[in-house]
Amino acid sequence: MRTLDLLRLSALSLLRQPRRSVLSLIGLAIGVAAVIILTAVGRGARTYVEQQFEVLGTHTLAILPGHSETTGGLPGFGGVPHDLTLEDARAVGRQIPGVLRLAPVVVANEECSAGGRSRRVVVVGTTAEYGAVRALRVRTGRFLSPGSWDESRPEVVLGKTLATELFPEGGALGQLVRVGGWRLRVIGVLARQGTTFGFDLDQVAFIPVRTAMTMFNKTSLFRVVLQSRAGSDMHLAEQRVRRLMIERHGEEDVTVATPEAIVDTLGGILDALTLALAGIAAISLLVAGIGIMNVMLVSVSERTAEIGLLKAIGANHRQVLALFLAEAAILSLAGGLLGLGVGLGLVKLLVTLAPTFPAAPPSWAILSALLLSLSTGVAFGWLPARRAVGLDPIAALAKEVL
């Protein structure tokens, strides 16, 4: 028997009961759609995390005061025995090999006002290097002036939204802004940066670190960020920084975090989660396979006389088996394709509704969902097909109805 004839005959017998055929493949379609959607969302979550961390720059490392033990607790909370000082930051810059840039950071909420308008925003005290480490883009003017960290200069760089809110008519550059009671001159306005980790960089004012420490009356830094030379070993850098800080503070009271390590860990978790979800969805394919088996069993028992006839006119066991397996394969492939279409459609809808979420099914998921649905159909079609092969042709022919 030719393959095309086989497929045509099988398709014809599926069309005999179109509604039942469609119903039986819906289960598979749902399973495949679920695999597609879940893996798309999982992959999207991973890409999203990676994009978020990308903003922090490559080869960067952050030193945070406070050490989180394995028992948990967020760094920066609880008892902090030693301040993380500007001296610490300088020591890191001097003694750790491979440091390209280094910036101390202090943070506080302060009132910013100009021309009768006022906003309470996050004020970041840092140095010129911060802009380079975080790859901040400047729209007009420049970022904080390079120079001694200890110099308290009356200058401020505004985030884009903040600049627009304080100076709706534009022309923020060169104007005076009152920040926490200090009069500072606007030396730059940032381009639009967007939101990272829920933190809107466009609503931030940047001022020199010494100015900020005096204004906030703080002796401890919020953190120190540093960027290593490309190609340097971040793991090694992390260990060196930790050792140095232990040396300086006499105990391990800082946390050293590298975004790449966090991305790797988080990405691994998300991958495992995606795989688990896809696995659960795949189980629904097995359930759908049982549905196909059921329909095929009914089909075999309804077509007993036909099977007897096929044997009488010379169909061998292989051909009878092939006819029924082809039916199962067509059913399951159609179900898989339907599920693929629905799944991709829903993913597309999701992306339309949430454009910032980069959901996209990985190609391995598409391929394996289709293969799995096909093999499920054929595997569960096997029993009914064997039953057809095993039918006694005489008893089968004795059934009058075809």
Four-residue CA torsion sign, 260, 261, 266, 270: positive
Site for other proteins, rule CB under 8 A: 1-2, 4-5, 9, 12-13, 15-16, 305-306, 308-319, 393-394, 397, 400, 402
Q: What is the dihedral of CA 341, 347, 348, 351, to 10 degrees?
A: 180
- Please list, in sequence order, all residues whose beta carbon lies within 8 angstroms of the beta carbon of residue 278, skipping any fewer than 6 positions away: 35, 38, 39, 42, 365
The nearer residue to other proteins, 164 or 301, going by C-beta atoms, is 301
Identify the three-state secondary structure at position 347: helix
The nearer residue to other proteins, 17 or 232, going by C-beta atoms, is 17
The nearer residue to other proteins, 230 or 313, going by C-beta atoms, is 313
Q: How far is the CB of 333 from other proteins (least distance, A)?
A: 21
* Gap between the Cα atoms of 131 and 154, Å rounded: 18
- Cβ proximity of 181 and 108 under 8 Å: no
Q: How far is the CB of 303 from other proteins (least distance, A)?
A: 9
- Please list, in sequence order, all residues whose beta carbon lies within 8 angstroms of the beta carbon of residue 196, skipping any fewer than 6 positions away: 52, 55, 56
- Please list, in sequence order, all residues whose beta carbon lies within 8 angstroms of the beta carbon of residue 131, skipping any fewer than 6 positions away: 138, 143, 144, 206
Give the pairing of strands 99-114 and 223-228: antiparallel
Q: How far is the CB of 2 from other proteins (least distance, A)?
A: 6
* Gap between the Cα atoms of 75 and 59, Å rounded: 21
The nearer residue to other proteins, 283 or 394, going by C-beta atoms, is 394
The nearer residue to other proteins, 221 or 307, going by C-beta atoms, is 307
The nearer residue to other proteins, 191 or 395, going by C-beta atoms, is 395
Q: How far is the CB of 28 from other proteins (least distance, A)?
A: 24
Give the pairing of strands 138-141 and 182-190: antiparallel
Q: How far is the CB of 315 from other proteins (least distance, A)?
A: 5
- Please list, in sequence order, all residues whose beta carbon lies within 8 angstroms of the beta carbon of residue 55, skipping any fewer than 6 positions away: 134, 135, 193, 194, 196
Q: How far is the CB of 18 from other proteins (least distance, A)?
A: 11
The nearer residue to other proteins, 214 or 319, going by C-beta atoms, is 319
* Gap between the Cα atoms of 120 and 109, Å rounded: 7
* Gap between the Cα atoms of 397 and 401, Å rounded: 9
Q: How far is the CB of 321 from other proteins (least distance, A)?
A: 11
The nearer residue to other proteins, 321 or 379, going by C-beta atoms, is 321
Q: How far is the CB of 337 from other proteins (least distance, A)?
A: 24
